[in-house]
Amino acid sequence: MQGGVMSTLRPIFVHCRPDAGYDLRFDTIMMVSMGVASLNQVAYQILGYPGVAIDETFIGSGIPDDGERAHLFDLTSGLVEEYLIAGDQPVIMCTLLSYNALGTDSFLRQMKHRFGSQLITGVGGQHITMCSEACTAWRTKPYIDRVANGDAEVTLQELFNGQPYAQGKKTIMSSDHYARPYYGGYIGLEDRLQEMSRFNLRGIKNMRMLLTESVRGCSWAVALGKACEMCALDVLLPLFFRGFPEHFAIEAELADMYGVNWIFDVSNQWLPAQGSAEQVKWLEGYCAARVRYDGPDISKYVYLTTNSVTKETAPLLRQAGVQIAYVGIDGWDARTRRELHKTQYDPFKMLDAAKSSGLLVRTSMVIGSGITSENIRELPKFVKAILDGYGDTVLSFGTFMEIILPGAENWRQFREMCFSGASELQRGRELYASFDVHGFLDLDQQEELNLLRIQHTQQTLLDDILAAKAEAEELILASETLSIDIRHGDHLDEGSDFDH
């Protein structure tokens, strides 16, 4: 408010890049931030005009990475100054995830330091929504004016109206879904599409990919009645897939406006059904609707579970346009799968089905639950069997130590364990206490906490687990398959084609 007159709000939505250590992975360039694109769509609906969306991971081609993030500060400061000169009210709102919270904190602190009360700052996103300690910490930061806990579709209007805190979830139906992404006002988008089209991923070339979301609830969690213990998402939601007319209209629009030939549908489980018969029925309906609504010829990359890629579903998935599926195999024997709350469906059957239908699979192992001194020795053998038998089908492979995401069930369980008094868990208590004050952990702290949990909950030595993981990782690095491990994976070789 200036002189009693509400000045025009000018929102800038920023997705800060992942904190140091996560950078330069293959996915980083290929996957734009849909979070800021959706926020901009919600803003458009509320204000009648859009704001600006910025993904710090890629602002434009040829911008040197000086480590100081000068390009982000220059760009946003320039916009803020421009809006202030015009007499408008600049607002910077960031989407917070566990892995970019530290960088978001320093960005907003510095911007507030520079512009003071002339600039409104705000945050929201999964990190705040899922973790009450994070929410409390971020609400107490003096350089953060507004905090959203929940969906922008419900909370953004209240923040725009001046409330410091808003909370709420959107109730959806197929016909009244979450905001679609709005890619107008997305800084550097065309440059990025061109940049990603330069890479050659096992013969996939000229990729121009944007993100959409069709169903937010996870069919696997809904079938089980609970989310996986490592999941930091609110996934027990009704399984409403976006109405087919709108779903295909969005694809057609992205193809027409941005020359998109790939869609990454970020739905937690793209199939809104579990059980073979239900999945087949749904896929047949999808394929028929694709014809009816003139769905464009776009390749899709989606998330699925091991038991949803079968010899019955795989051909239909291909017919639906799915070319790549991320299928977390995660466990490597009955025990690890059970402890990770994964299906016992044979992963080799999934790979057989994918292979015979020409469906490419991206996969990973999650190492940190159900481990014994016997089964840990089987891990590298299991990974080798996949690489030997399905190297042409498995596009990328990660071996991840199980992470404890703030807000996930395993985060709460280990917190309880740490604070139950065991003296050897003093370090765990310190890490949780630090999180409660700052609202984030840096990557080193996160990794320390992850390892501490594994060390104190698994039935074998941590060194043996790490050695088995390293062996598996080496096998992947030496293979044709792209390794996507966080620190040691295959990195994009800047300036040259990624042709592994």
Interacting residues toward ligand B12 by CB under 6 A: 18, 22, 25, 27-28, 31-35, 38-39, 93, 95, 97-99, 122-127, 129-130, 148, 151-153, 155-156, 159, 178-179, 211, 213, 231-233, 266, 268, 400, 403, 405, 407, 486
The answer to whether 286 contacts ligand SF4 (rule: CB under 6 A) is no
Residue 111: contacted member of ligand B12, ligand SF4, none (CB under 5 to 8 Å, by partner type): none
| Least distance CB 224 / ligand SF4 (angstroms) | 8
Residue-by-residue DSSP string for 128-161: HHH-HHHHHHHHT-TT--EEEEE-HHHHHHHHHT
* Closer CB to ligand B12, 367 or 405, in the complex: 405
CA distance 144 to 112: 8
Residue 221's binding partner among ligand SF4, ligand B12, none (Cβ under 5 to 8 angstroms by kind) is ligand SF4
Rounded Cα distance, 147 and 140, in Å: 10
Identify which of residues 89 and 446 has a Cβ nearer to ligand SF4 in the complex.
Answer: 446
Between 25 and 341, name the residue whose CB sits nearer to ligand B12.
25
446 Cβ neighbours under 8 A, 6+ residues apart: 98, 403, 404
- C-alpha distances (whole Å) from 467 to each of 203, 343, 400, 463 are 33, 26, 13, 6
CA distance 455 to 458: 6
Q: How far is the CB of 108 from ligand B12 (least distance, A)?
A: 11
Q: Edge-to-edge strands of the sheet including 165-168?
A: 52-55, 9-15, 89-95, 120-124, 146-150, 165-168
Measured CA to CA, the distance from residue 463 to residue 470 in angstroms comes to 10
Give me the phi and psi of 363, to 5 degrees please: -145, 175
Buried b / exposed e along 411-435 (16+ C-beta atoms within 10 A): beebbebbeeeeeebeebeebbeeb
Q: How far is CA 234 from the centre of its chain?
A: 13
Question: 39 touches which of ligand SF4, ligand B12, none (CB within 5 to 8 A by kind)?
Answer: ligand B12
Mark the segment that binds ligand SF4 (CB under 6 A) among 187-195, 218-226, 421-429, 446-454: 218-226
Q: Which of 130, 235, 314, 452 binds ligand SF4 (CB under 6 A)?
A: 235
* Minimum separation from the CB atom of position 450 to ligand B12 (A): 10
CB of 125 to ligand B12, least distance (A): 3
Q: Is 104 in the site for ligand SF4 (CB under 6 A)?
A: no
Cα distance between residue 143 and residue 394, in whole Å: 45
Shortest distance, CB of residue 101 to ligand B12, whole angstroms?
A: 8
Q: How many residues bind ligand SF4 (CB under 6 A)?
A: 9
Nearer to ligand SF4, 268 or 396 (CB): 268
Residues 238, 273 contacting (CB under 8 angstroms)? no
Using the contact rule CB under 6 A, the part of the chain among 81-89, 95-103, 226-234, 411-419 near ligand SF4 is 226-234
218 binds, among ligand B12, ligand SF4, none (CB under 5 to 8 A by kind): ligand SF4
Question: Closest distance between ligand SF4 and the C-beta of residue 342, in Å?
Answer: 8
Residue 123: other Cβ atoms inside 10 A: 29
Q: Find the part of the chain contacting ligand SF4 (CB under 6 A) among 168-176, 190-198, 221-229, 344-352.
A: 221-229
Contact with ligand SF4 (CB under 6 A): which of 72, 233, 359, 404?
233
Residues 149-188 that bind ligand SF4 (CB under 6 A): none
Q: Output the residue with the shortest Cβ distance to ligand B12.
A: 124
Task: Note whether 80 binds ligand SF4 by CB under 6 A.
Answer: no
Separation between Cα atoms, residue 403 and residue 21, nearest integer Å = 15
Q: Which is nearer to ligand B12, 179 or 317 (CB)?
A: 179
Tokens of 394: 């498995």
Closer to ligand B12 by CB, 196 or 353: give it.
196
CA-based nearest residue to 489, from 7, 18, 21: 21
* Identified binder of ligand SF4 from the candidate list 30, 201, 231, 484, rule CB under 6 A: 231
CB nearer to ligand SF4: give 214 or 479: 214
Candidates 343, 361, 344; CA nearest to 352 is 361
Residue-by-residue DSSP string for 379-406: HHHHHHHHHHHHTTTEEEEEEEEPP--T
Among 43, 210, 211, 221, binds ligand SF4 (CB under 6 A): 221
- 54, 144, 227, 366: which one binds ligand SF4 (CB under 6 A): 227
Are 135 and 147 in contact by the 8 Å Cβ rule? The answer is yes
* 268 near ligand SF4 (CB under 6 A): yes
| Residue 152 binds: one of ligand SF4, ligand B12, none (C-beta under 5 to 8 A by kind) | ligand B12
What span, in angstroms and rounded, lies between the C-alpha atoms of 340 and 228? 7
Which residue has tokens 């047949």?
284
Q: Which residues bind ligand SF4 (CB under 6 A)?
A: 218, 220-221, 227-228, 231, 233, 235, 268
